[in-house]
Structure 1
Amino acid sequence: MSDATTDAATDEPADGQEPWDVTQDYFQGPVVMRRSRVPHETTDQRLLDSRGPADWVHADPWRVMRIQSEFVEGFGALAELGPAVSVFGSARTSPDDPTYALGERLGAGLVGAGYAVITGGGPGAMEAANKGACQAGGTSVGLGIELPFETGLNEYVDLGVNFRYFFARKTMFVKYAQGFVVLPGGFGTLDEVFEAITLVQTQKVTSFPIVLMGSAYWQGLLDWLRGSALAAGTISATDLDLITVTDDVDEAIAIIVESDRALSAEPPEGTGTHAE
């Protein structure tokens, strides 16, 4: 309660304010207040009074509004995107790395198959996929994230949305994509891979292909999953079937197309292909 309208010690209106009638019911939206609970200022007063500390903008209720706004902006920007594939990979991949050229071919190939390309919008492998899509005349999407060491969206992004929160951004990667294709990458890429696998494994998404490109890069991870996780019983053999590994761009795209067609041929059951 602001000292501008009440006396903190007596809970009485400050000088110059009209006294409030605490004997009557006070309505604040759906809430009814009486006696000592009757406030001495209105909601509009608190809204329009700009005095006082600004730390409220960092409080959880305000943070919830920011989170909500990110979902609204993301949904609004991507709702009419059409068929799309999310492509992940390292921001550290240099333009002279063979993976960069692989990303360009992948982006162009996905556009040729009728898909928009969604990446994290950063440099490296993400830029390569955006570049391939852009130069092939398709829709190139970048979903950026606020990080202290990122420089913004790459120049090949046609439609970009920047996010504060990883979880809001991740929802957009899944909700608007028919599948994931994953180029070699680090912790962020691994995070996306395992989240996608978990969503399919737990049936939070339906028929969602996950393709890892670069067999030499991913082989060590697959060996560990089989030799350690599967051997210990922490995953099942069918969980490994959720992942396809290839070095062939055409094969990766064919997997996405085949899954998309199979899903389209299924009778509707009231569930979508994307996250709940």
Structure 2
Amino acid sequence: MKIHIKVFIILIISMSVYIAGGGALAAESHHIQKSQEDINTSQGYDIYANISSDNVATVEYEKNGRTIARPLATFTVDGYPEQFEGPSLDKGENWSVSVDLNNRFNVSKSSHQVEVVTLDNSYDRTIEKEYDLEDPDIPATRIQDVEVIETTYDGEPTAAVDVVFENPSPRGYSGNVYAHTLQTISARSVAIVPVNQNTTVSRIHLREGPDEEVEGELRMTTARLDEDKGLRDQVWFRGTADGETEWQREPYEPVGYRNTEDSYRYDTDEGFLESKGISPKQAAAGAALGIGFLIFLFRGRSKW
């Protein structure tokens, strides 16, 4: 016996352009308004799909016939797939799933490909959204905390720095983190938050002793250390293993690799300025203004 089943499908896509940002969206209802358009299917469900103006995708199943198939929805965002399976439903029951696409976009792109797949249909759309890759609030890997600790290396006690990374997105990003301190030149560790985890800790062994104060910079990047591109983050820090560690985020500055002509070494004078909330660039600008002021005074006195 043939069963004729009606399936109502509506796909509403709104394309919006967002500049330099991301972050959490305000919560709102994503109830799907059903249309009168119908398509025959044999899956035993009314299936409704929607992408809202704030880039939240929702799929809803309502069982209207006899079937053993469970509701299924797959969202593929910039090549990253996520599949959701609902429970077995009785006739008249429904199941829905929503995902925030903003947390799943590849932040290195400005044009994003989205595919929504249900049991019987698929929908492809392009959404425009651009991110500032130095913005600490974008949904990608960022330095969340820094702590100087005591540990051992090759059996000898030494200082190290634990770097806590946070990534609110289920999408993983592969990068490295580099430490430059008064005694350490470009020590490196990985900066990868595992998929389906929000945080991870990377430990970098330093040349400082376990009882010494450690001061320096941390640079996280998915590109090269000496390039100002890719996903990147930079912080200044200072602390001891038996005390507190203070740190602050600062603009990313590309530096040379160890054992190269432009090899970078951390300067304690810069560290002192940054500890007071003054970046090296701000200090240089202040110095230039100071020199200009002295020249102005000298010229003024020469006329007296």
- Structure number with bigger Rg: 2
**Larger relative contact order (CA 8 Å, sep ≥ 6):** 1
**TM-score, L = length of structure 2:** 0.28
**TM-score, L = length of structure 1:** 0.29
User: Greater share of strand residues, 1 or 2?
Assistant: 2
User: Greater share of helix residues, 1 or 2?
Assistant: 1
